[in-house]
């Protein structure tokens, strides 16, 4: 027993030491100074190693087990010193903070209010990492399910005031307020006293029990303090609360004055303003604000119109030009700003807006009252330039839109800085800017799709006049301004939401909102667009920005949500043709055109084709996302088509704020052949220019996302999907240096040249006839205009290819980027293109060339043999004519050439060269009979003196004897070659298994696309195929939740190699197959959050095939086998074949059919057999390539790999 007690003592001691938070003194109450210590090595551990830690905290006043934060101290994400902690002396990851002089004073808790617990979480300086607890209890506290930490204070005897719960009461004559309290234990006395300004008067008392109650019947408006005092076990305790009691007079019914409308109405008399609030069904409203010293005054009770729809009041005796902050107190307790105000006063966020961005912020800090709005008489109107009257916006079919988020486009997040960038955007050739939402949204840091006040520009970007100046400057530079308008929904700070809200959602009597959204993908609170109240509000909002700010049009967010058809859980039904939605949008469009006939109405719709056609017929322009098709081609996957990007009726785009970046997609999934790798940044940027040539020259409106012209490649989910993204300008933290990189600038220059080719020749482009070849590796656009013809050709494949530009005439043509003349003697002449090479040929000279902007990929190095390991003897051949001189005279004609080379260890994507060899050892020998080819023969192990470590790549450049002239790879890069390393992408043991065998699968991230090299977590997203010909994931058996770090499908890192990951399972139980028979495993791998993907290189491998999208198909050998392994006496020939495939030998069982599949799993040939007799297969009509042939018998399937040649 003594041993058990000792063990428990040790365990308790260790538990206490390891707890996440402790306080000193450990039995402190809220009226003492408290030191709190946080151990970052406990709980979520996200703050281990942090250089600065903040405590975001509050107090719990409702009871010993309460979890509501009150009197919060801390500003999340702000490094402002509020709640900052100090590192405990001698500790790496322990932090302390002192709450003083007392905890009550630190949190500013009123005397008479119980403090039962401290409530907290911790964060780093910018709030991107959070220190939270592991749910459960610890000594002296507990952790909630969301990780919030609660430390119990010493409150043994107490009284809780159960009611009143509110702070403000609005009564009619005869109404009462219940008062009730509960003690923590039986009392010997307890009484209720109320102080109405002349001292406390006892109202009720008890001498036993735990509860007391009283009905308070005030007779006039008063500030009343309610106190409950009790004696528990000889100890006196008390609790108190101050309430405001207001007796409401009868609301006067009066018609709205002539000429007055909803919102804020100014007068010629600058001492007056008339406020009008739409609040049907409400009983009374007070106007409260600076003009009333933020107190309720009888004279500020608003009048009600006879129909009960509107409340209004005329305020007088105002100071002209003074900014007044105000609210409407609807039925006394609902405190809101004016829904139609043009400026918001935010007591939570305005203080974080720099004076350099907005120098006239409202003075308002009443966090207890929440968001307010302002009015100001005598404001000086913005002086629009005379040019505004003659401004002609681009025709909608000619739009080239640049979508941007002010916050992430310029570091100051201001319109003033944005104005300074207009020259950059104009030089890019665009003719419209689409601003992500700029109306007042919740908080400061946001994409803006959480709107609250729809007529107020968000101050985080600048003043109202700054925005007007931005619009005017755009117009002066020929650029239209399109506003991203969010009218599908509003968020919780919106006054129209707040006025009619119950049970966590809009109430059923809301004039504007549905209690529950009618459609999928909704956020916030869903507008009812069939409500006449909503329609009037929508029309007011749309007309306002067009007239007040000279906005040229709108892109309507989630326009498919403008429906009352209830399909909340059925995306298909929601997306189907909906005449009621068409009618809603047509009505809105007509109202917009009444205000500005040529306003753009762009829809984020993605609906049924019939519906989008109907909307386009009304002049609206739906969005069309072509991102997938273009990034597939960018990455060398040529099975998709660009068809549809040429539509005149849609705004086509390949990137938007809501789509993954093109280059990021390619870096994950791009294809490679030999040393030509589309995942190489330099190669990908060159191919991106080809994408631009095949996109911006097409008919119809186009859109690009900010910095697409620089090849922005940061994951959309970096720092959270809607979080701040690094700036492409400059260097240092959160700067990428793209603009300073010549390679990136060449990409921008190419985009600008291509866009301007169209926008500066619109008459020719718009009058031209077009022909297209949009699919396959070699693609073409031919533009036949009245006076200008253009042919664009490009090789999206990975191998050299030829294509005819299909010139419209013979004679002299011009290469747009090189500036060279091209003598065309035959309109059907072909041009040989290297992978990634493209040309724009024009029948008139449209440029003198753009030096270095576009280059053709060439690798100056070949190695024999083409695949080699570290111990193999190899011969390296360098061709100086294909090398980039990198700003020097180059090595063409050099008398001596030396190789400067090294090795990359471990990291298959690494570029850090070690064991570098230069000097005499790298001297090369000129190839016999050649002028500029040089060779050197080495064995990597000996040459680089590799004695330890895993060598995975060799890299090299070349120089002359004086070390002044160089030969490098494409665009001055180091030339890398991968070394063969032992292993496979997928290894399964035992090698022979069926679905009932426990197997161990090893995934090696160093193979395939190498997308998961170096990650800290790997998941397998997998399924099975029940047919030997299936390649798709069978949805009935999928295991894995993409993007969720939930342990489902998680692999274990190998102890011997950090890039190898292992999972052990039995297929039948793992996939819950029941009685089904699996023929194949289908799989792909990902990191913890699904932002990176590990997949195979398309093609057949020993145990299966990798299809074109990178999915790995692994045949279960006990069911589907390679025919060579199981039937050594059976053969098929010839292979490769020109078409006819013969068979020799017998296959057990009755053969039912033979099928051929491409690497995407598509069936390209089927042959049914008579009586099970094998016969030759004629595949002469099949496109040349690698195929899988399946021979299916009654009880088994066999796989053959067949190469069809021309």
- In tens, the pLDDT along 326-354 reads 999 999 999 999 999 999 999 999 999 99
Instruction: Kindly tell me if the per-residue pLDDT of 892 is higher than 50.
Output: yes
644 plus 513 within the same structural domain: no
136 plus 201 within the same structural domain: no
What pLDDT is attached to residue 5?
Answer: 38
Q: Which residue has the higher pLDDT, 589 or 1196?
A: 589
End-to-end Cα, the chain, rounded Å: 87
Q: Which residue has the higher pLDDT, 1028 or 549?
A: 549
Q: Which of 842, 871, 894 is the last residue of a domain?
A: 842
What pLDDT is attached to residue 1196?
Answer: 66
Q: Which of 189, 221, 247 is the last residue of a domain?
A: 247
Q: How many CA atoms lie within 13 A of 936 on its CB side?
A: 21
Q: Which DSSP letter does residue 1043 get?
A: T
Q: Supply the CATH number for residue 518's domain.
A: 3.20.20.80
Residue 1085 lies in a domain: yes
Instruction: Kindly tell me if the per-residue pLDDT of 173 is higher than 50.
Output: yes
| pLDDT grade for 1193, boundaries at 50, 70 and 90 | confident
775 plus 877 within the same structural domain: no
Residue 58 lies in a domain: yes
Are 375 and 326 contacting, i.e. CB atoms less than 8 angstroms apart? Answer: yes
1041-1060 pLDDT per residue, tens: 998 899 999 999 999 899 99
Give the containing element (helix H, strand E) for 419.
helix 415-420
Residue 855 lies in a domain: no
Written as six digits, the tokens of 820 are 């060279």
What pLDDT is attached to residue 1199?
Answer: 72
- Mean predicted confidence (pLDDT) in 814-830: 98
Domain around 1098: 986-1118
Q: How far apart are CA 670 and CA 649, in angstroms?
A: 31
> What is the total count of domains within the chain?
8
Q: Work out the angle between the directed axes of helices 579-595 and 609-617 (0-180°, nearest 10).
A: 20
Instruction: Kindly tell me if the per-residue pLDDT of 619 is higher than 70.
Output: yes
Q: How far apart are CA 915 and CA 908, in angstroms?
A: 16
Are 530 and 565 contacting, i.e. CB atoms less than 8 angstroms apart? Answer: no
What pLDDT is attached to residue 1121?
Answer: 47
659-674 pLDDT per residue, tens: 999 999 999 889 998 8
The model carries a pTM of 0.84
Residue 323 lies in a domain: yes
Instruction: Kindly tell me if the per-residue pLDDT of 16 is higher than 70.
Output: no
Are 467 and 438 contacting, i.e. CB atoms less than 8 angstroms apart? Answer: yes
Distance of CA 780 to the CA centre of its chain: 33
363 plus 424 within the same structural domain: no
Among 388-397, 605-614, 844-853, 1024-1033, the minimum mean pLDDT is found in 1024-1033
Instruction: Kindly tell me if the per-residue pLDDT of 7 is higher than 50.
Output: no
Give the number of other Cβ atoms within 10 Å of residue 846's Cβ.
Answer: 17
pLDDT averaged over the chain? 93
What pLDDT is attached to residue 347?
Answer: 96
The order of strands in the sheet holding 1151-1157 is 1120-1122, 1197-1204, 1185-1193, 1151-1157, 1163-1168
Three-class SS state of 55: strand
645 plus 727 within the same structural domain: yes
Q: Which DSSP letter does residue 1039 get?
A: B
Residue 631 lies in a domain: yes
User: What sign does the dihedral 1139-1140-1145-1148 (CA atoms) show?
Assistant: positive
- Mean predicted confidence (pLDDT) in 975-988: 93
CA distances from 17 to 50, 666, 1200 (A): 21, 49, 64
Closest CA relative to residue 694, chosen from 640, 649, 742, 657: 640
- What is the pairing mode between strands 838-842 and 189-195? unpaired
Q: Supply the CATH number for residue 1193's domain.
A: 2.60.40.3080
Q: Supply the CATH number for residue 697's domain.
A: 2.60.40.1180
825 plus 935 within the same structural domain: no
Residue 343 lies in a domain: yes
Contacts of residue 1098, defined as CB under 8 A and 6 or more positions apart, other chains included, come to 671, 1106, 1107, 1108, 1110, 1159
Residue 853 lies in a domain: no
What pLDDT is attached to residue 1?
Answer: 38
> How buried is residue 920: exposed, middle or buried, by Cβ count under 10 Å (0-12/13-18/19+)?
exposed
Q: What's the CA angle centered on 797, arms 1083 and 1203, to 5 degrees?
A: 65
Instruction: Kindly tell me if the per-residue pLDDT of 1094 is higher than 70.
Output: yes
What pLDDT is attached to residue 1161?
Answer: 63
76 plus 110 within the same structural domain: yes
Long-range contacts of 221-225 (CB under 8 A, 24+ apart): 221/245, 221/246, 221/247, 221/296, 222/196, 222/197, 223/196, 223/197, 224/194, 224/195, 224/196, 225/194, 225/195, 225/200
Residue 253 lies in a domain: no
Q: Supply the CATH number for residue 1024's domain.
A: 2.60.40.10
521 plus 402 within the same structural domain: yes
Which residues on neighbouring strands pair with residue 653, listed in sequence order? 625, 703
What pLDDT is attached to residue 10?
Answer: 35
761 plus 673 within the same structural domain: yes
Q: Which residue has the higher pLDDT, 176 or 1196?
A: 176
Instruction: Kindly tell me if the per-residue pLDDT of 642 is higher than 80.
Output: yes
Torsion of CA 716, 718, 723, 724, to 10 degrees: -100
Q: Which of 575, 608, 625 is the last residue of a domain?
A: 625
Contacts of residue 97, defined as CB under 8 A and 6 or more positions apart, other chains included, come to 35, 36, 55, 83, 84, 85, 86
878 plus 783 within the same structural domain: no
367 plus 430 within the same structural domain: no
Among 939-953, 1011-1025, 1028-1042, 1185-1199, the minimum mean pLDDT is found in 1185-1199
What pLDDT is attached to residue 13?
Answer: 37
What pLDDT is attached to residue 1160?
Answer: 62
Q: Supply the CATH number for residue 874's domain.
A: 2.60.40
678 plus 817 within the same structural domain: yes
Which residues on neighbouring strands pair with residue 310, listed in sequence order? 278
What pLDDT is attached to residue 998?
Answer: 95
């Amino acid at each position: 027993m003594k041993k058990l007690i000792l063990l428990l003592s040790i365990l308790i001691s260790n538990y206490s030491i390891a707890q996440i938070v402790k306080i000193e003194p450990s039995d402190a109450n809220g009226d003492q100074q408290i030191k709190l210590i946080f151990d970052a090595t406990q709980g979520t551990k996200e703050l281990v190693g942090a250089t600065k830690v903040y405590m975001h905290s509050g107090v719990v006043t409702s009871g010993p087990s309460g979890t509501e934060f009150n009197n919060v101290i801390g500003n999340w994400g702000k490094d402002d010193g509020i709640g900052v902690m100090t590192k405990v002396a001698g500790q790496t990851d322990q932090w302390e903070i002192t709450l003083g002089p007392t905890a009550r004073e630190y949190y500013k808790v009123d005397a008479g209010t119980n403090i039962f617990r401290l409530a907290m979480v911790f964060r780093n300086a910018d709030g991107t990492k959070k220190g939270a607890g592991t749910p459960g209890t610890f000594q002296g506290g507990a952790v909630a399910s969301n990780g919030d930490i609660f430390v119990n204070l010493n409150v043994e005897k107490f009284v809780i005031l159960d009611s009143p719960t509110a702070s403000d009461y609005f009564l009619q004559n005869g109404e009462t307020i219940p008062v009730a309290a509960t003690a923590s234990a039986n009392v010997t006395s307890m009484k209720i006293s109320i102080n109405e300004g002349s001292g406390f008067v006892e109202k009720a008392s008890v001498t036993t029990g735990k509860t007391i109650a009283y009905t308070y019947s005030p007779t006039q408006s008063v500030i009343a303090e309610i106190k409950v005092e009790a004696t528990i076990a000889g100890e006196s305790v008390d609790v108190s609360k101050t309430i405001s009691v207001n007796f409401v007079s009868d609301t006067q019914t009066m018609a709205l004055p002539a000429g007055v409308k909803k919102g804020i109405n100014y007068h010629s008399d600058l001492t007056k303003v008339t406020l009008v609030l739409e609040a049907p069904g409400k009983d009374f409203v007070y106007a409260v604000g600076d003009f009333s010293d933020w107190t309720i005054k009888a004279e500020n009770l608003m009048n009600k119109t006879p129909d009960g729809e509107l409340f209004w009041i005329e305020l007088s005796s105002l100071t002209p030009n003074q900014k007044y902050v105000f609210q409407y107190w609807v039925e006394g307790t609902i405190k809101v700003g004016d829904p139609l105000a043009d400026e918001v006063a935010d007591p939570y966020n305005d203080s974080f807006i720099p004076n350099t961005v907005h120098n006239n912020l409202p003075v308002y800090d009443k966090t207890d009252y929440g968001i307010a709005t302002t009015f100001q008489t005598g404001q000086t109107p913005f002086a629009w330039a005379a040019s505004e009257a003659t401004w002609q916006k681009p025709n909608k079919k000619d739009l080239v839109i640049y979508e941007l988020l002010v916050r992430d486009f310029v570091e100051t997040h201001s319109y003033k800085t944005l104005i300074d960038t207009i020259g950059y955007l104009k030089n890019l050739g665009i003719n419209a800017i689409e601003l992500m939402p700029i109306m007042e949204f919740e908080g400061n840091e946001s994409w803006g799709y959480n709107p609250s006040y729809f007529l107020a520009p968000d101050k985080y970007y600048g003043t109202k006049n700054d925005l007007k100046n931005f619009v005017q400057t755009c117009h002066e530079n020929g650029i239209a301004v399109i506003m991203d308008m969010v009218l599908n929904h509003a968020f919780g700070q919106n006054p129209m939401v707040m006025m009619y809200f119950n049970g966590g959602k809009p109430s059923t009597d809301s004039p504007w909102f549905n209690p529950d959204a009618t459609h999928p993908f909704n956020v916030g609170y869903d507008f009812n667009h069939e409500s006449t109240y909503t329609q009037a509000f929508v029309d007011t909002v749309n007309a306002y920005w067009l007239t007040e700010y000279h906005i040229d049009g709108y892109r309507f967010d989630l326009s498919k949500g403008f429906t009352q058809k209830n399909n909340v859980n059925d995306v298909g039904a929601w997306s189907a043709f909906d005449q009621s939605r068409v009618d809603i949008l047509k009505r809105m469009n007509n109202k917009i055109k009444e205000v500005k006939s040529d306003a753009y109405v762009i829809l984020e719709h993605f609906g049924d084709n019939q519906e989008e056609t109907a909307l386009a017929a009304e002049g609206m322009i739906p969005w069309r996302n072509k991102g997938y098709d273009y990034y597939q081609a960018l990455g060398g996957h040529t099975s998709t088509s660009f068809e549809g990007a040429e539509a005149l009726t849609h705004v086509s785009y390949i990137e938007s704020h809501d789509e993954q970046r093109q280059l990021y997609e390619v870096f994950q999934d791009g294809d490679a052949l030999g040393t030509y790798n589309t995942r190489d940044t330099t190669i990908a940027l060159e191919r991106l220019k080809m994408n631009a040539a095949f996109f911006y020259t097409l008919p119809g409106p186009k859109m690009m996302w900010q910095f697409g012209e620089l090849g922005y490649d940061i994951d959309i989910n970096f720092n959270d999907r809607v979080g701040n993204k690094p700036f492409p300008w400059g260097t240092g933290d959160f700067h990428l240096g793209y603009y300073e990189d010549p390679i990136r600038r060449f990409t921008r220059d190419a985009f600008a040249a291509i866009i301007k080719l169209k926008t500066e020749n619109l008459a020719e482009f718009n009058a031209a006839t077009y022909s297209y070849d949009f699919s396959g590796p070699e693609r073409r656009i031919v533009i036949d205009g009245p006076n200008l013809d253009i042919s664009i050709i490009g090789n999206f494949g990975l191998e050299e290819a030829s294509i005819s530009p299909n010139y419209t005439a013979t004679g002299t043509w011009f290469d747009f980027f090189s500036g060279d003349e091209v003598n065309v003697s035959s309109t059907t002449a072909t041009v040989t293109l290297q992978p990634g090479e493209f040309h724009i040929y024009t029948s008139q000279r449209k440029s003198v060339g753009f030096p270095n902007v576009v280059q053709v990929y060439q690798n100056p190095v070949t190695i024999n043999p083409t695949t080699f390991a570290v111990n193999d003897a190899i011969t390296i051949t360098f061709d100086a004519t294909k090398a980039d001189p990198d700003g020097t005279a180059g090595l063409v004609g050099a008398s001596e050439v030396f190789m400067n080379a090294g090795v990359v260890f471990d990291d298959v994507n690494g570029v850090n060269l070690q064991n570098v060899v230069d000097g005499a050892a790298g001297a090369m020998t000129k190839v016999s009979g050649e002028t500029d080819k040089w060779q050197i023969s080495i064995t990597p192990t000996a040459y680089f003196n590799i004695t330890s470590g895993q060598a995975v790549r060799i890299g090299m450049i070349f120089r002359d004897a004086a070390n002044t002239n160089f030969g490098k790879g494409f665009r001055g890069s180091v030339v890398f070659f991968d070394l063969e390393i032992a292993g496979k992408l997928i290894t399964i043991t035992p090698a022979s298994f069926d679905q009932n065998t426990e197997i161990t699968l090893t995934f090696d991230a160093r193979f395939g696309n190498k997308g998961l090299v170096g990650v800290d977590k790997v998941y397998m997203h997998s399924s099975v195929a029940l047919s030997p010909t299936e390649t798709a994931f069978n949805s009935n058996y999928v295991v894995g939740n993409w993007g969720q770090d939930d342990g489902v499908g998680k692999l274990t890192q190998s102890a011997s190699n950090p890039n190898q990951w292992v999972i052990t399972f039995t297929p039948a139980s793992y996939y819950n197959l029941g009685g089904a028979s699996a023929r194949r495993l289908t799989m792909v791998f990902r990191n913890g959050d699904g932002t990176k993907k590990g997949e195979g290189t398309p093609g057949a491998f020993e145990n299966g095939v990798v299809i074109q999208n990178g999915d790995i198909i692994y045949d279960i050998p006990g069911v589907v086998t390679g025919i060579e392994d199981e039937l050594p006496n059976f053969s098929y020939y010839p292979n490769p074949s020109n078409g006819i495939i013969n068979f020799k030998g017998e296959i057990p069982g009755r053969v039912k059919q033979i099928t051929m599949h491409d690497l995407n799993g598509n069936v390209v040939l089927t042959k049914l057999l008579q009586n099970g007799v094998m016969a030759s297969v004629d595949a002469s009509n099949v496109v040349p390539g690698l195929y899988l042939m399946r021979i299916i018998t009654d009880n088994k399937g066999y796989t053959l790999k067949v190469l069809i040649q021309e």
